[in-house]
A and B are shown apart, each in its own frame.
Chain A
């Protein structure tokens, strides 16, 4: 691993530091034994199961609902209509945020009340002794429907004559925004070369292997609601359930047990989950709802449906002068509450051509409502689109001026010594390393040799492509930007409470959550290092609103960057208190003491003075041994949030080596390389695996994944047999290198790492495929890049 020089030796860099070391995850040991405990694995006494009657139409009025037969069906304990549920809610949701100026969305209830606006929208809930009985009874619910006009084509959503989905909104416009540096037209007028393309990105979805899952229990005596749910954001779910169902927030406990994949899907709230929770309150019995796979495809948030018209102005010397993009984003029937459905378009504006130093940029986003399931945040929001658009135009530009794509990037990226600076999109950038990453990639892939091999194979009729794509990734959002700042109950800060227990063990409670990335292990490493105890003396507790300090949870690659710094600060504070106590006990100046491996030592020596177990014993049980002015808390809470920055931006570059069969359109992935800079790496193996998994998720969207709807808004591929995901056989080995430029916004120096692979892989794949197609003078600008698309580009179908 390449490590850039870190200015001064900090406690993080000392010998045997737990920070920067590969250590295994405890939860992995449970997982391999089949001892994971996911929400559906939990059984509760008197538990019943919810199933839903969902709208078969993309848009239809509910004329009548007859639930008599369902109510009489075996095992059924409750049938609730959308109208009945609405009465139990404090009010409808409106999925807007004040930070998105002039954004609008229609009010929405958890289940359709008098009109369904997307196929799969829940309409009636049936709760029965078993899920099978609940589903049987759903079949007996009779709903009279009157079909309404359907809007599914985003290009026509704002056309004259297209009816508004919600009459009160006047039209189907959700949000418009333009960034404009002011002199874009002049730059294009003066340009030597202009590259222009239109890009299409298909709608796809998270496909977490464990579907959405929830088990709600309500005790009418104490009026306490306990919800186990597969969530990344327990505190946000707590706030939403409390506010929507009228339970005091402090009476709601949300627990996220093991989470079987999340990828942004599980930072959201869903109507069926609100309904099942309401049922637990009505029945005063535990109610479980587990989405099946068809429900997942129909009702999980979707993402990525965007059309981008883009232009790049370039000088004949190879300087990017200006970029101009026009984004049309297809949302669903409502903006997802509370995170909205306009983030993706907004993020495309923020990051397109983001690695480069051009001065002029104009980016317009238009987000429109469609009679489809709501869209919202999915791993690497907006980045696959912005990166694909920017990087393909960069490749075209390089070719147009006769420059190698590597050289063109070297020439145009923001220089490593130029930070802090502001991008053309107006985004603050600092601590980045595009040039170092390009150099590392060129060395890693032996670029010159690879080009030679490509040329040699082309002569034999074998068409291979080398993809190159630089990227930026917004991670760890700050408090001045969106969510909380826009009025949503979503924290941008995160916190850690750390405690020294009587026997010398350390408990570390964090607001960020683990879904298998290793957040718990990373926090364990940071805490162990901060306090000075052995790794296995620390236990991390996360995913329980009753047990952890308030925090935003895990989203937007924030867990290590934000939660990790809170843990570091809390651990350092606990360490300071321990040293103060030790100083008093030992009649020594605390500054001459240190804590290493669970013992207080004379600093700079191996001389053990007192163990932390002894400090714990005295601090809890024999406080009389301490001077009266010391009241040990042996506990510390610290919070961390960014100050002014919108994000901590990371950067890097991908390389891909692919083969395209011009007869079949099949794309074979041969090798993938990543060089990325997530700042200080806490656990190299876990960071690598985040990058690898992220890449493959991005490759899925680039090559296979697509929620296909017909013109009436009916999903055509609602099973995993029809919706293709990347499997082991198609995926390449992925080589990962880290350049470490620690962020200067924290002591820890860690940036986010979880999403960048997903954001950049589609861009490098499109460039690699197009590089393979270059001898045919053909290229594609649409994803997923199916064999059919390739053959069309080649003029063969």
Chain B
């Protein structure tokens, strides 16, 4: 009983990657196990908790609901890539300053999702921020600090642009 394998080529955090993967392997398992990108976490394996959120071709997806083979030809960005590019450095700084995480397990997914909302440069209401983050489970903070951090960063960005 040998496992069915398939070769995929994709871009991960700007690097070209070619690997032969088990066809049943989830994208997040591939990123973590094969590429050592352990910043994406596995929480619920049902697409509910958002800990495995990664960006695929510009859209935030659940790494536990997508197979690695489905990412063939795609451009994938993980928290490591977002960190290296500096795209969300301000948000990360405010997360630290505001202590918008405790155990940190949800944090990469939370940042990934928040970054998506912040793309339009608008300052969203706290209610909208809460709504947008509602697919990301955080057991530690109670969310208040996370909402504060996202709101603060939006305001700072907006202040810079105006």
At the interface, yes or no: B45 with Cβ under 8 Å from chain A?
yes
A446–B52 alpha-carbon span in the complex (Å): 43
Interface string of A520-537 (1 = CB under 8 A from B): 000000000000000000
Instruction: Let me know if A32 is at the binding interface, CB within 8 A.
Output: yes
Q: Is B145's CB within 8 Å of the partner chain A? A: yes
B46, B101, B104 interface centre (most CB from chain A within 10 Å): B104
Encoded as 1 (CB less than 8 Å from any B CB) or 0, chain A from 723 to 739 comes to: 00111111101100000
A659 to B49, CA, bound (A): 27
Looking at chain A, what size class is its interface with the partner chain?
35 or more
CB distance from B13 to the nearest CB of A (A): 11
List residues of chain A with CB within 8 A of the CB of B38: 34, 36-38, 40-41
Closest residue of chain A to B81, judged by CB?
A34
Using A293-B44, A721-B48, A734-B144 as known contacts, say yes or no to A728 and B104 having CB atoms under 8 A apart: no
Q: Mask for A468-511, Cβ within 8 A of B = 1, else 0? A: 00000000000000000000000000000000000000000000
Q: In angstroms, how far is the closest chain A Cβ from the Cβ of B40?
A: 7
**Residues on A with beta carbons closer than 8 Å to the beta carbon of B46:** 293, 719-721
Q: What's the nearest-Cβ distance from chain A to residue B9, in Å?
A: 23
Q: Choose among B24, B49, B96, B103 the residue that contacts A516 (Cβ–Cβ < 8 A).
A: B103
List of A residues within 8 angstroms of B101 by Cβ: 28, 31-32, 516
Q: Is the pair A728, B146 in contact by a Cβ cutoff of 8 Å?
A: yes
CA distance A697 to B142 in the complex (A): 7
A210 at the interface (CB under 8 A from B): yes
Given contacts A24-B99, A261-B105, contact A292 B45 (CB under 8 A): yes
Question: How many Å from the CB of A670 to the closest CB on chain B?
Answer: 12
Report whether A693 and B140 are in contact in the complex, using a CB–CB cutoff of 8 Å.
Answer: yes
Task: Name which residue of chain A comes closest to B140, CB basis.
Answer: A693
Q: Please tell me if the beta carbons of A33 and B79 are within 8 angstroms of each other in the complex.
A: yes
B96 x A34 contact (CB < 8 A) = no
Does chain B have a CB within 8 A of A209? Answer: yes
The answer to whether B92 and A261 touch across the interface, beta carbons within 8 angstroms, is no
Using known A-B contacts A35-B39, A74-B2, A720-B49, determine if residue A689 contacts B141 with beta carbons closer than 8 Å. yes
A34 near B24 with CB under 8 A, answer no
Contact A685 B143 (CB under 8 A): no
What is the chain A residue whose CB lies nearest that of B42? Answer: A40
Which residue of B is nearest A695, CB measured? B142
Q: Is the CB of A689 within 8 A of B95?
A: no
Is there an interface contact between A517 and B102, defined as CB atoms closer than 8 Å? yes
Q: Does A553 contact B (CB under 8 A)?
A: no
Of B46, B92, B134, B140, most buried by chain A (CB within 10 Å of CB) is B140
Contacts of A517 in B (CB 8 A): 102
A210 lies within 8 A of B103 (CB): yes
For the complex, is A263 an interface residue (Cβ under 8 Å from B)? yes
- In terms of DSSP, what is the predominant structure of the interface of chain A? loop
A-facing residues in B53-105 (Cβ within 8 Å): 78-80, 83, 92, 95-99, 101-105
Q: Flag B122-162 by CB within 8 Å of A: 1 or 0 each.
A: 00001001110111111111111111000000000000000
Whether A34 lies near B78 (C-beta < 8 A) is yes
Structural contact, A689 and B99, CB atoms closer than 8 A: yes
Contact present for A696 and B41 (CB under 8 Å)? no
- In the complex, A719 Cα to B48 Cα: how many Å? 9
CA distance A282 to B79 in the complex (A): 38
Residues on the A chain within 8 Å of B83, using CB: 32-34
Q: How far is the CB of A141 from chain B (nearest CB, A)?
A: 16
- 0/1 per residue, B12-49, Cβ < 8 Å to A? 00000000001011000000100001111111111111
Known: A28-B101, A31-B104, A258-B103. A210 touches B95 (CB 8 A): no
Are A261 and B142 in touch, CB under 8 angstroms?
no
CB-contacts of A681-708 with B (<8 A): 685-686, 689, 692-697
Out of B105, B111, B136, B139, which one reaches A697, CB within 8 Å?
Answer: B139
Q: Are A685 and B99 in contact (CB under 8 A)?
A: yes
Chain A: residues with CB nearer than 8 A to chain B?
24-25, 27-38, 40-41, 73-74, 132, 206-210, 258-263, 292-293, 515-518, 685-686, 689, 692-697, 719-721, 725-731, 733-734, 757
Give me 21 A-to-B residue pairs in the complex whose CB atoms sit less than 8 angstroms apart, sorted by A's number: A28-B95, A28-B99, A28-B101, A31-B107, A33-B92, A34-B78, A34-B79, A40-B42, A261-B105, A293-B44, A293-B46, A518-B102, A685-B99, A689-B99, A692-B142, A696-B143, A719-B46, A720-B44, A728-B129, A730-B134, A731-B130
Closest 9 CB pairs of A and B: A34-B39, A31-B104, A260-B105, A516-B102, A696-B142, A34-B79, A516-B103, A729-B134, A41-B38
